[in-house]
Amino acid sequence: MPAVLSVSAPPLRLHVDRDGVVRAAAQVPSPNFDARPTGERVSLLVIHNISLPPGQFGGPWIVELFTNLLDATAHPYFASLSDLRVSAHFLIRREGTLAQFVPCGLRAWHAGESIWRRRSNCNDFSIGVELEGTDELPYEDIQYRTLARLTRALRRRYPLRDIAGHEDIAPKRKTDPGPAFDWVRFRKLIAGPGS
């Protein structure tokens, strides 16, 4: 777990191997995954945000949630999460560090009830990236840079057709990454040199 809290950002160019692992990311295996349906191809990147407790950054809580180790008594809010079994493929902390919980070839449990382009169950065909943040607070420059590097690496490995927010695939349930996420800035970064 200390590698997740490290202050060093990943290298400028990331690589996704055949198993869907980014070796430059801190590897923190989550039990919350299963196989993608046979023949399913990854075509969607979903951007989320998370902070635990809500609005607070740092600490072990996100990692503990994704690895089923969250102590429900550590904070009053955590009791509402005690039965959740969730994960994402990646987490980008406020300081730009990158952690991977599930290889991209497997199905992480990040989208929940969802639909994109008339296809339901987005977990089947998507990769989920969590940004440590909230809907209202600006994300850090280094988070955008790490997300752009990761997106370019994922595009080199997978035929990503679309990038959406959690709010786009589950609009009645979710609001993240929220109005604080600068889509124009992000799209410029992924279209720039090194794409």
* Straight-line distance from the first to the last Cα atom of the chain, in angstroms, rounded to the nearest whole number: 30
Euclidean distance between CA atoms 181 and 179, whole angstroms: 5
What count of Cα atoms within 13 Å lies in the side-chain half-sphere of residue 113? 4
Q: Choose, from 40, 64, 130, 136, the residue flagged as catalytic.
A: 130
Alpha-carbon span 89 to 109, nearest angstrom: 9
Distance CA 75, CA 61 (A): 10
CB of 92 closer than 8 Å to CB of 130: yes
Annotation says 136 is catalytic? no
Identify whether the C-beta of residue 48 lies closer than 8 Å to the C-beta of residue 176.
yes
Cα→Cα distances 102→34, 45, 105, 126, 184, Å: 9, 14, 8, 12, 28
Tokens of 61: 């809580």
Active site members = 130
